[in-house]
Structure 1
Amino acid sequence: MQNNEFKLSFLGGAGTVTGSKILIETNDKRVLVDCGLFQGLKELRLKNWAPFPIDPSSIDELILTHAHLDHCGYIPLLVKKGFKGAIHCSHPTKELAEIILLDSAKIQEEDAERANSHSYSKHEKAEPLYRVSDVVQAMKQFETHDTHEWVILDNDIKFQLLNSGHIMGSTFVDMRVIDKKIVFSGDIGRTKPMLLYPPAKIKDADYIILESTYGDRVHSQENVKEELLRVIEDTFERKGILMIPSFAVERTQELVYLLHELKQEDKLPHVKIYLDSPMGVNSTNVYNKYGDWQNISGYDISRMYDDIVFVNDFEHSRATVLDKHPKIVLAGSGMMEGGRILHYLNNHISEEKNTLLFVGYQGEGTRGRQIMEGSKEIKFFGEYRKVNCQIRTISSLSAHGDQNEMIDWLRHFQQAPTTLFLNHGEAHQADALRTKIKHELNWDAEIPKLGAEYLLK
C-alpha cells in the first residue's frame, strides 16, 4: 500500500447479521472493529471453528462497539489464538461483555459435556469453542473509555466512541485513518429508545459502514405496552404460562420497565413474574450502576424490579419450570439457542393454553426463527417437541433502528460519503435499505461480501 492508502476488510457480518468483524489496515497498524460469533444456520456456526482469516497475533488493537455475542463473542478465541492487543470499549460494555462471555463459555462447556454424556455429538468428542478460563484471560486486555474521548493508537489512527442508543454502553466508532474519517455504526438504536438516550448524530464522514438488520422493514407503531397487556390477558384467560425468550441486555430491562408501568397503572393481573436468567440479573445490576446512560428517572430505575422474582440457583429454576401455575417468565437466550428458556419450552411448548412471545430479532437458522416461520416440531436436548402453544410477536420492541430510522440517522450527514457500505444484514435486508437510501438521499451504497477487501485513500 502507498503511504496515503489503507485497507478495509469484512471478515464477518457481511451477508449475515452475525459474526461482526471489520479490519482496518495501514502500513503500520491492524485494527479490528468488533469480533463476534457467527450464529444461526449451521453453515454460519461452522465458520467459528474455521481458521481465523489472518494471524490473530498480527492484530494490534480491537475496538468493541457493544456487548452482544454477535459483536464480542469471538474475543476469547481470538485471544486464545494469539491476539495480545488492547480491547477498547465503553465502561458499561466491559462489564456486560464479561457477563455475556462467561455465560457463553459456560453454556458451551455444558453443551459439550451433555453431548458427550448422551452421545448425540457427531464428533468423537465434543469440545467447547472456548472455556471460562479463556474469558478470564481475555478480560485482562480490556481498556475502557468515556464517550467523546479521543484515543490515539498511532500517528495515523485515532478514534472516539459515541453513543449508539442500542443497548447499555453501546457505541459507534468515529475514526480518523491517515487523513480520512470513517464511521463504523456498530448497531444503531431507535430514534426514541425506551430506556436509553437516542443515537448521537454526526455531520460528515468519508466512509460509513452502516448496519442493515432491519433494512427491509418499518417497526410497528402500535403501543408496545398495550400489545404486551393483550398478550398477558389472553394467556391468563386460558390459565396458561407466558414464556418470553429475552435478550439479557436491554430487552429484559425494557420488559421489566413495561411490566412495572402496567403494575403502577393497576392493569396487570395478579400473577408472579419470574426473571430466570443469571445473565439477565447480572446485566440488570450493570444497568442500575450506570444511570447516567439511561433516559429515565432514578426513582423508576430503583423501583422497577420490586415485583420481579429473581431466580438464581438451579433448584429454584427447576421448581419454576415444573410448576404449571399461570405466570410470566423472562429467560434467555433471546433466540432460544441456549439458556434456561429451553427448559421452559421443553416442558410447556406443547400445551395450547401457554404462550410463547417473541420480542426480538430471530436469526436465520435459530430455533426462534424456525418457530416464527411455522415449524410444528422443535428439537430440545436431542428430542422433538410439538409446537402447540400460542405464538405471538411484538416487533416494535426492537433495539435496532428500522429502515426509516436508519435513513433519519444518515440525514444528519451534510453530504454523501465517498462510499457507504451496508453490512450486518441478510442480503435482502441490505438490498432493501440500499434501494431506500438511493430513493430518499440519492446516495449509492456498496454491499460487501464476506471476505471482501477495499483499498481506500
Structure 2
Amino acid sequence: MKITFLGAAGEVTGSQHLIETDGRRILLDCGLFQGHRAESFKKNCRFAYPAESLDAVILSHGHMDHCGNIPRLYNKGFRGPIFCTSATADIAEIMLKDSARIQDEDARYLSRKLNEKHPPIEPLYDEEDVRQVMKQFERLDYHEWHDLGDDLRVRLLDAGHILGSAIIEMKIKDRGEWRHLVFTGDLGRRDLPLLRDPDTIEGCEILISESTYGNRIHEKASDLKEELYHILDEAYRVEGRVIIPAFSLGRTQQIIYYLNDLYNENRLPHIPIFVDSPLSTRLVSVYRHHLQDMDQDVSDVLKEDKDPFGFSLLDYVSTRQQSIELNKREGAFVVIAGSGMCENGRIRHHLKNGLEHPENTVVLMGYQAEHTLGRRLQQRDPKVKIFDRYYQVKAKVVQLSGLSGHADVEDFKWWYETSAKRGNIGQVFLVHGEPESATALAALIRDEVDEEPIIPHYQQSFEV
C-alpha cells in the first residue's frame, strides 16, 4: 500500500492524503490550501493525479481546509462516491456554496483591478459544480462498519472537533492481505460544549494523525462561560457594545449555547444579542437538525429547553439593512459576526463603528493569524486600518481562548495512551501541524507506538 501526502504536510492547511492499493485509489479529505493568493491558487487548481482515477473520497469533516476543494475535483472529472457523516454532508453543502459565491465575487473584483493584458481570473469552481458534486455524497452512521466493496470496510468514529467530525477507520485489502489504517482528521478536545469527547481506537497498523497543537496546552472551555458573563454584565452597566468576531462554523454555535445556558440559569444580563452572519444562521439550522449527535449535556438541556440555540434576547440578523441599523443602535447590546480574524464580512463594519468608544468591548475568541486585523487588535495596536481609514482603538480588547477545537498536549497524551492500551499502534504519520508542533508530538507519543513517528513532507510518498 502506498500513501502520498498531498496537503497538510508540514503545515495546517489543504488536508489531502492519497491511499493506493493494487485495486483502489482513495482520497482522505480534499481541502483548500489557504494562504498567499498566488501560491494557494497554484496548489488548489492542480491535482497530483487524474481526478477521474479516484475510486472514492472519505471526508473527515466540513471545515474548508478539509472539504473545500471537492467541487474542483468534480470539475476535473471525479464522479465517485464521497463518504462522510450526515452532519458533515449538510455542513459541507452550505460551506461549499458560500465558497463558490466568494470566489465568484473575488474573481469579478480582481478582474476589474487588472490591466487588459492580464489573463482572466477564474474561480476554482462555481455553484453548479457544488450542486452536482453534492449528489455524490453518501452518508454513513457513526460507529458502524460499512462494507463498501469486497476489499474495503469503513467505520466513522466521533472526532469531537466540530459537529459531524469523524475519525476514519479503514480496513482495506491489498495484494490479498487486509490492512488496518486510521486517519484522525482533526482530533478534538474533551469537555467542549455541544460536542462528545473524541472516541479512542482499538489500535491499528497505520495511523495518520493531526498534530496542530502538539506543543501547547489550552485554557479550559468551562472557564469561558463565566468570563462571558462578566463581560456582558459590565457592558450592561456601562451601556456599551460587546463585539465578538467569531468563525461561522463551530465557534458561533458554541458561544450561543453558552449564552443560552446563562439565560436558562437566569444569570444573563438583560441585553439584546444579535448574530449578524447569514452563514452562521444557516449553520445553526444544521446544528438544530443534528442534536442527536451532540453530548449528554445537550440531551439534559433538551429535557427543559427545546432549542439550545434560541432564547428571547437573541435575534438572528438576516438582511444587510438590519446589519447597518445595528451600528445606529444606542445602549448595550452584543453582536456576533464573522469573520473570526476580522479580515472580511460584517464584523469589520461593527469594529469601524465601535472601536473608538471606550465603553465598548471587543472579544477575540480564537487564534489570530499574523498580519490580520484580529492580530493587530490582539497585540493592542493603538490604531488599526479598516476600509482604507485608521481608527483609534479605545475599546477594551479581551482575548478568550478556551474554545479551540483541536486536541492539545494533554488531550493527545490521553488519546494515545488510551488507544494504545486497547491495541497496538504501528506506524504513525504526523500531519496538519507546523514542524515544531509535529516534532513535539512525536516525542510525546514515542513510547505509545511501535515505530518511530514520521513527519512527512508535501507530496512525499511511503510504501507501507
Normalised to the residue count of structure 2, the TM-score between the two structures is: 0.88
Q: By how many angstroms is 1:25 displaced?
A: 0.6
Pick the aligned partner of 1:448 from 421, 446, 456: 456
CA contact (8 A) 2:284 2:309 kept: no
Q: Say which SS state the counterpart of residue 425 (structure 2) adopts.
A: coil
Residue range with higher mean Cα deviation, 104-113 or 298-307 = 298-307
- Please list every run of 5 or more consecutive structure 2 residues that lacks an aligned counterpart in the other structure: none
Residue range with higher mean Cα deviation, 168-177 or 329-338 = 329-338
CA contact (8 A) 2:9 2:432 kept: yes
In structure 2, C-alpha distance between the alignment counterparts of 1:383 and 1:396, rounded to whole Å = 32
Gap change, CA 1:190 and 1:85, over 3 Å in 2: same
Q: By how many angstroms is 1:355 displaced?
A: 2.9
In structure 1, C-alpha distance between the alignment counterparts of 2:389 and 2:451, rounded to whole Å = 50
In structure 2, C-alpha distance between the alignment counterparts of 1:445 and 1:333, rounded to whole Å = 36
Q: Does 1:344 align with 2:350?
A: yes
CA contact (8 A) 2:211 2:430 kept: yes
Q: Say which SS state the counterpart of residue 140 (structure 1) adopts.
A: helix
Q: Say which SS state the counterpart of residue 401 (structure 1) adopts.
A: coil
Pick the aligned partner of 1:107 from 99, 102, 120: 102
Alignment of 1:47-58 (within 5 A): 47-58=42-53
In structure 2, C-alpha distance between the alignment counterparts of 1:436 and 1:180, rounded to whole Å = 26
Match for 2:445: what amino acid? Answer: I
In structure 2, C-alpha distance between the alignment counterparts of 1:238 and 1:130, rounded to whole Å = 48
Residue range with higher mean Cα deviation, 90-99 or 354-363 = 354-363
Q: Say which SS state the counterpart of residue 454 (structure 1) adopts.
A: strand
Alignment of 1:202-221 (within 5 A): 202-221=201-220
Q: Say which SS state the counterpart of residue 330 (structure 1) adopts.
A: strand
Q: Does 1:292 align with 2:292?
A: yes
Match for 1:232: what amino acid? Answer: L
Cα distance per residue 1:289-333 (max 9 Å; x no partner): 122112213244515411311111222122224546432111223
CA contact (8 A) 2:427 2:450 kept: no
Q: Report the aligned-residue RMSD.
A: 2.8
Q: Say which SS state the counterpart of residue 171 (structure 2) adopts.
A: strand
In structure 2, C-alpha distance between the alignment counterparts of 1:58 and 1:181, rounded to whole Å = 23
Q: Say which SS state the counterpart of residue 448 (structure 1) adopts.
A: coil
CA contact (8 A) 1:416 1:443 kept: no
Gap change, CA 1:436 and 1:371, over 3 Å in 2: farther
Match for 1:167: what amino acid? Answer: I
| Residue matched to 1:86 | 81
| Residue matched to 1:240 | 240
Q: Say which SS state the counterpart of residue 243 (structure 2) adopts.
A: strand
| Residue matched to 1:96 | 91
In structure 1, C-alpha distance between the alignment counterparts of 2:53 and 2:392, rounded to whole Å = 49
Q: By how many angstroms is 1:370 displaced?
A: 5.3
Q: Say which SS state the counterpart of residue 247 (structure 2) adopts.
A: coil
Q: By how many angstroms is 1:168 displaced?
A: 1.2
Q: Say which SS state the counterpart of residue 195 (structure 2) adopts.
A: coil
Q: Does 1:438 align with 2:446?
A: yes
Q: By how many angstroms is 1:15 displaced?
A: 1.4
| Residue matched to 1:360 | 366
Alignment of 1:344-423 (within 5 A): 344-349=350-355, 351-363=357-369, 366-369=372-375, 371-373=377-379, 380-381=386-387, 389-412=395-418, 413-414=420-421, 415-423=423-431
CA contact (8 A) 2:240 2:359 kept: yes
Match for 2:33: what amino acid? Answer: F
In structure 1, C-alpha distance between the alignment counterparts of 2:3 and 2:370, rounded to whole Å = 26
In structure 1, C-alpha distance between the alignment counterparts of 2:411 and 2:268, rounded to whole Å = 31
In structure 2, C-alpha distance between the alignment counterparts of 1:122 and 1:446, rounded to whole Å = 46
Q: Say which SS state the counterpart of residue 400 (structure 1) adopts.
A: coil
Q: Say which SS state the counterpart of residue 438 (structure 1) adopts.
A: helix
Match for 2:250: what amino acid? Answer: E
Pick the aligned partner of 2:56 from 61, 69, 82: 61
| Residue matched to 2:310 | 305
CA contact (8 A) 2:44 2:69 kept: no
- Please list every run of 5 or more consecutive structure 1 residues that lacks an aligned counterpart in the other structure: 1-5
In structure 2, C-alpha distance between the alignment counterparts of 1:116 and 1:356, rounded to whole Å = 35
Match for 2:88: what amino acid? Answer: T
Residue range with higher mean Cα deviation, 121-130 or 25-34 = 121-130
Q: By how many angstroms is 1:369 displaced?
A: 4.3
Alignment of 1:1-150 (within 5 A): 6-42=1-37, 45-117=40-112, 125-150=120-145
- Aligned length in residues: 451
| Residue matched to 1:3 | none
Gap change, CA 1:233 and 1:403, over 3 Å in 2: same
In structure 1, C-alpha distance between the alignment counterparts of 2:403 and 2:201, rounded to whole Å = 25
